[in-house]
Amino acid sequence: METTATQNKAIKWLRKIGFWGFMFFLVKGLIWLAVGYFIVK
């Protein structure tokens, strides 16, 4: 039951921010991972 409630919250949140909001955070996260990689390398 708790998992279903958590999934519903996540789905509602994703619908609020929409596709472009999701893409923005995805790209932002990937950029930070790349920056971290090049700093460590």
**Tokens representing residue 13 in the block:** 């949140």
> Mind listing the pLDDT tens digit for each residue in 1-41?
556 777 888 788 778 778 888 889 999 999 999 999 999 98
pTM of the model: 0.53
**Tokens representing residue 26 in the block:** 């995805």
Whole-number pLDDT of residue 27: 96
Provide the residue type at 15 as one letter: R
Whole-number pLDDT of residue 2: 59
Residues 14/34/31/18 CA torsion (nearest 10 deg): -20
